[in-house]
């Protein structure tokens, strides 16, 4: 597979990194509470709009394949433009990244050196510390180039809709938490498709300080107190006065939601007071990504300090950054250009967030993993100032227990290998030197090695069919330390 056992063992020097705690054990509430004290955190960071992967992880040379190799193919596609139109090698026309992006990373398949887009300074810094796994050529069979449909396939981890509409993280949460738990928080107005399910609680909020339920904003403290008391009375009564199990469940669920709305706003002042330096550093970045990740940091701070026992317990988070639909004005790898600005905002915010969480408690940096993905990549050949919808692209996995390095194969971008739309072709053929990484390999690795799911195939469907085009042999060796 694209992420081979050889790659994993080469980086870790160990024979196995399997886990022994499965979903059946998590269903025991006593074990769940015990594990919550030492459990891991997962943050999903979504690059909304289809990030240009070829200008994210950039070929720096041709490697061992000689003339016509990766760098030459990249340069031809990103200078010539659509229809053979010649464009300048710098400025706002060509999308060409300089030939010495740093730090150098080795693509084991071609022997070519790779580098990060210059805007990814924060990610490069974390990579240099050994905390970033760059997973190349991630996609799924029969790629769909609709934003909505491709996002759905990534969010569910189910390209053919076999398991329904639940998200891949949502299936894990439903399997391991109960109806009175709130294990997930999404920093957005609605629950992300990645977290969708019907078995446990997920909060969707923009800022913890504005989280208000069951009342809206603009009410005075007296009125808020009166409504909160009335709401609690109704749900407390429902939880104890009926033999119908639906009423106690509804009452308890409503009571928990009301308790959450009382606790979560306090996280803001607690964090600002106790982590004033980091709070100011997020403010200084002055970006949406920094503000969103600071909200997640507030919740983690509350969990670490057990600030609101039994209520603030979330360990699974999602946020997004828009702007990646770069059909025009994508720009080159210099400050002020669109993709550069997006990458600086994202990378700098993630770097600060990782540092912040790691400084909250000794060893906490080893308990967090950040997964960065986009619904598809971009076409190999550019249009005049941007790129159209493409197929496979890179994924970043970041954390203290991640074995840093490059996994998978850089997609084959030679003209003869592209489809009729000028996109790379998903392939699982064993003989294909540019064999694709299926998104389920990435998710399965996180589920198995990070979240303790013994058999991720209970949550990630096998395709069947021809092994040359369908995902049939999972590979969950992406590189977590044991």
Nearest to 139 by CA among 130, 150, 147: 150
The pLDDT confidence band at residue 372, using thresholds 50, 70 and 90, is very high
In the three-class reduction of DSSP (H, G, I as helix; E, B as strand; rest coil), residue 202 is classed as strand
The pLDDT confidence band at residue 27, using thresholds 50, 70 and 90, is very low
> Average of pLDDT values for 57-65?
88
In a domain, 245, yes or no: no
**Number of helices (H) and strands (E), helices first, in the chain?**
13, 12
Contact, 342 vs 55, CB < 8 A?
Answer: no
What are residue 411's phi and psi, to 5 degrees? -60, 150
Domain harbouring 332, CATH code: 3.40.720
| pLDDT(75) > 90 | no
Provide the domain limits for residue 34.
5-212+264-458
pLDDT tens track for 134-193? 999 999 999 999 999 999 999 999 999 999 999 999 999 999 998 889 999 999 999 999
Least confident of 86-95, 151-160, 328-337, 394-403: 86-95
Average pLDDT, the chain: 84
CA angle centred on 35, ends 31 and 40, rounded to 5°:
150
Q: pTM of the full predicted structure?
A: 0.87
Q: How far apart are CA 393 and CA 451, in angstroms?
A: 24
pLDDT tens track for 186-232? 999 999 999 999 889 899 999 999 887 666 666 677 776 777 677 66
In a domain, 475, yes or no: no
- Tell how strand 316-321 and strand 41-47 pair up: parallel
Nearest to 451 by CA among 42, 155, 177, 178: 42
pLDDT tens track for 430-477? 889 899 999 999 999 999 999 999 999 999 999 987 878 889 889 898
Q: At what angle do helices 246-274 and 288-304 cross, to 10 degrees?
A: 110
In a domain, 186, yes or no: yes
Q: Which two tokens stand for residue 480?
A: 């977590």
Q: In total, how many domains does the chain have?
A: 1
Report pLDDT for 340.
95
In a domain, 474, yes or no: no
In a domain, 111, yes or no: yes
| pLDDT(29) > 70 | no
In a domain, 480, yes or no: no
| pLDDT(270) > 50 | yes
Beta bridge partner(s), residue 320: 46
In a domain, 247, yes or no: no
Contact, 475 vs 36, CB < 8 A?
Answer: no
Q: How far apart are CA 301 and CA 68, in angstroms?
A: 51
In a domain, 469, yes or no: no
């Amino acid at each position: 597979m694209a992420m081979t056992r050889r790659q994993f063992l080469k980086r870790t020097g160990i024979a196995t990194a399997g886990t022994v705690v499965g979903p059946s054990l998590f269903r025991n509430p006593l074990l769940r509470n015990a594990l919550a004290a030492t459990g891991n955190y997962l943050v999903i960071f979504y690059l909304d709009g289809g990030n240009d992967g070829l200008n994210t992880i950039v070929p720096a040379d041709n490697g061992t394949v000689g003339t016509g190799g990766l760098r030459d193919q990249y340069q031809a596609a990103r200078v010539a433009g659509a229809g053979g139109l010649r464009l300048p090698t710098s400025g706002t026309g060509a999308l060409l990244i300089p030939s010495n992006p740093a730090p150098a990373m080795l693509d084991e398949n071609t022997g070519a050196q790779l580098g990060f887009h210059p805007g990814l300074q924060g990610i490069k810094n974390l990579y240099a510390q050994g905390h970033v796994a760059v997973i190349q050529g991630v996609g799924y069979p029969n790629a769909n180039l609709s934003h909505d449909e491709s996002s759905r396939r990534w969010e569910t981890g189910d390209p053919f809709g076999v398991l329904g509409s639940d998200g891949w993280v949502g299936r894990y949460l439903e399997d391991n938490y109960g109806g009175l738990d709130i294990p997930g928080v999404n920093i957005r107005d609605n629950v992300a498709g990645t977290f969708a399910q019907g078995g446990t609680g997920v909060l969707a909020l923009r800022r913890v300080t504005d989280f208000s339920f069951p009342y809206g904003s603009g009410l005075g403290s007296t009125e808020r107190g009166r409504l909160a008391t009335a709401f609690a009375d109704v749900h407390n009564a429902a939880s104890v006065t009926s033999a119908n199990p639906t009423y106690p469940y509804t009452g308890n669920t409503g009571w928990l939601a009301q308790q959450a709305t009382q606790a979560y706003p306090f996280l803001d002042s607690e964090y600002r007071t106790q982590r004033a330096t980091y709070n100011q550093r997020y403010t200084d970045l002055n970006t949406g990504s920094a503000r969103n990740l600071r909200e997640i940091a507030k919740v983690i701070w509350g969990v670490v300090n057990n600030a609101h026992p039994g209520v603030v317990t979330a360990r699974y988070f999602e946020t997004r950054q828009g702007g990646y639909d770069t059909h025009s004005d994508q720009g080159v790898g210099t400050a002020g250009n669109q993709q550069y600005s997006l990458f600086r905002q994202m990378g700098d915010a993630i770097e600060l967030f990782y540092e912040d969480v790691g400084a909250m408690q000794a060893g906490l940096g080893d308990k967090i993993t950040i997964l960065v993905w986009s619904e598809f990549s971009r076409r190999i050949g550019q249009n005049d100032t941007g790129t159209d919808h493409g197929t496979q692209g890179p994924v970043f996995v970041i954390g203290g227990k991640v074995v840093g390095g490059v996994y998978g194969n850089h997609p084959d971008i030679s003209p003869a290998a592209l489809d009729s739309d000028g996109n790379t072709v998903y392939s699982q053929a064993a003989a294909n030197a540019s064999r694709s990484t299926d998104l389920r390999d990435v998710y399965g690795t996180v589920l198995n090695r990070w979240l303790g799911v013994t058999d991720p195939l209970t949550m990630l469907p096998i395709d069947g069919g021809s092994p040359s085009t369908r995902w049939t042999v999972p590979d969950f060796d992406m590189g977590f330390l044991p």
